[in-house]
Structure 1
């Protein structure tokens, strides 16, 4: 069985194609033959050793797949070691999906969809009429957060994107594409970049505004936050990490069902146009880091 593995930390170049034994499920588990696997920014942090927790090496990345169980069910599943032709999943982590649903769109709603949902609902606690700024608004999380912010009652949704992606942000529903400083202060800012962008965002919060930090894509040294500055701004910084959130009661099934319902109703449009063969995982990581991808990135065995 083919899998993508790294046995030391570094950039995408440490990813290699390996032949590994087919995994054997234990009690409460099933084997899933992979149709497509999702690529997340967290995967790049795991590969270079900058993830919040360290994993034992050698390690096969990948936390979500679409595939088939031995009894023929087509499922979306949370897994470990998803960059492979077959993977083990807990029966409790399976989400049945229709045969005619595009795998990329389904995968977009798992890690990125749940992240966007919890950023707005659980972390920012968005209130109707508030102004939201979404950084990396053409990316996997950002493209969904723009749409969900509108769906959840935001008054204005402003997008920050890399050059060349402005049109997509507007098509997704952003009221404007912005840079810093903002013309008007924002109530909620979602930031996965860190570094200079984080600092600029912090200075652009309205009174009682919330800056939600959920990543450090810039790989910058973490910006110290001065409590006195927060006091002067009358604002707050909220940290968010999806992994422990998924362990909370009701954190997966309810939000995921809502996301799929919104998609079925045509009110949520996952962007999933960046597809690579499994054996080109290294290139997928390089393109993701270089901001050459749009929306959800997937690998197909």
Structure 2
């Protein structure tokens, strides 16, 4: 089969489109013919050797895939050959075939197409877990979402509204990205290159601050977020797009105000508590099926052009999800 392989740590040029062995399944796994997969920022980090849990080269990158089950192991009970599914594969998704455990494979509603499905798993599962389970969003609360024009940002904006947020504020790093966050449903969008986002959030909330803040950037953005986190507020960190910079907090910033700083990793959850994702899948796929959640797809590339897709995502110009098309199945 054809696959894209990280041959060594480095820039996009280390991604090689080549012939590899078709994977084998065990009794509790399924073999999926991939129709499309998505590019996530974690793929960039793994290519550089900076993603937790990433293997040593050579390896196939990619976290999620949409496709059709071609074969199922003898102990698989809830999915079967021919099912249209999304999955979190065992060993990368930039390939024509992937293997996934049954408990990380989810059947698609009939009216959800493969492009939508491929854009969905990582960003929608992460967004739902952050809001519903980690931050425990309450109806009417104000949510602040950093990097609001990206794949998770545009998805989290919608899910915050679906889950009852009273107001959703987004931040972006470029004024060019403001329309994408507004289109996703943000009530206010702040460009932190031209405005003090904490000051603006406090102004918009009459000095109360945001009840929930989703932070995938870390560094100074995480630290400054405490300046606009409400009493009893929850700051949830789920990434470090700022690179080597880390956010630092004092215990005095938290206890008397009853505020919390929380963390979440979808990768850790997939590896250690995969059963946590079954209810998440049911909720997210239901929202996709009834039209309340729309996946924002920015660009599509062929599998062979994965290096170009990585260049686009790494340029920070991408808006919404970037897909790799693997086959022409509709």
TM-score computed with the length of structure 1 as normaliser: 0.92
Contact 1:109 1:270 in 2 (8 A): yes
> 1:245 aligned to 2:284?
no
Give the whole-Å Cα distance in 2 for the aligned partners of 1:176 and 1:115.
Answer: 22
> Does 2:301 align with 1:289?
no
Per-residue CA deviation, residues 35-80 of structure 1 (Å, 9 max, x unaligned), is 1012211111111111123423211111211112224332212202
User: Matched residues in 1 for 2:238 and 2:308: separation?
Assistant: 24
CA distance in 1, matches of 2:102, 2:141: 39
- Corresponding position of 2:177: 165
More divergent stretch after superposition (39-48 vs 24-33)? 24-33
Q: What is residue 188 of structure 2 aligned with on the other side?
A: 176
- Which residue does 1:140 correspond to in 2? 151
Q: In 2, distance between residues paired with 1:13 and 1:221?
A: 26
The SS at the match of 2:175 is coil
* Cα distance in 1, alignment partners of residues 17 and 263 from structure 2: 35
Partner of 1:152: 163
In 2, Cα distance between the equivalents of 1:200 and 1:113?
26
Q: 2: distance between equivalents of 1:234 and 1:253?
A: 31
**TM-score normalised to structure 2 length:** 0.85
The more displaced of 278-287 and 116-125 is 278-287
- Quick one: which of 246, 249, 253 aligns to 1:225? 249
- Which piece of structure 1 moves more, 127-136 or 217-226? 217-226
2:99 aligned with 1:74: no
Deviation track 1:6-36 (CA, whole Å, cap 9, x = no partner) reads: 1322232322222212222222223222110
Q: SS at 2:254's partner residue?
A: helix
Once residues 235 and 260 of structure 2 are traced to their aligned partners in structure 1, the CA distance between those partners, rounded to angstroms, is 6
The 3-state SS of whatever aligns with 1:165 is helix
Structure 2 stretches lacking a partner, 5+ long: 71-80
Deviates more, 1:286-295 or 1:127-136: 286-295
Deviations 1:114-135 (A, max 9, x none): 1000100121111121110011
Tell me the residue number matched to 1:265: 290
Q: Hey, what does 1:202 align to over in structure 2? A: 226
Preserved CA contact (<8 Å) 1:194 1:220: no
Distance 1:49 1:233, change over 3 A: farther
Give 1:250 shift: 4.4
Q: Distance in 2 between matches of 1:235 and 1:93?
A: 33
Q: Trace 1:95-134 onto structure 2 (pairs within 5 A).
A: 95-98=106-109, 101-134=112-145
The two structures, once aligned, show a CA RMSD in angstroms of 1.9
3-state DSSP of counterpart to 1:270: coil
Structure 1 277/155 Cα, relative in aligned 2: closer, same or farther at 3 Å?
A: same
- Which runs of 5 or more structure 1 residues have no equivalent in the other structure? none
Q: Determine the C-alpha separation between the residues in 2 that align with 1:239 and 1:11.
A: 29
**Displacement of 1:231:** 4.2
Cα deviation, residue 189, structure 1: 0.7
Aligned residue pairs total: 301
Q: In structure 2, what is the Cα distance between the partners aligned to 1:121 and 1:158?
A: 17
Number of the residue aligned with 2:77: none
1:266 deviates by: 1.8
Q: State the partner residue of 1:83.
A: 94
Q: For residue 190 of structure 1, report the CA deviation from its aligned partner.
A: 0.4
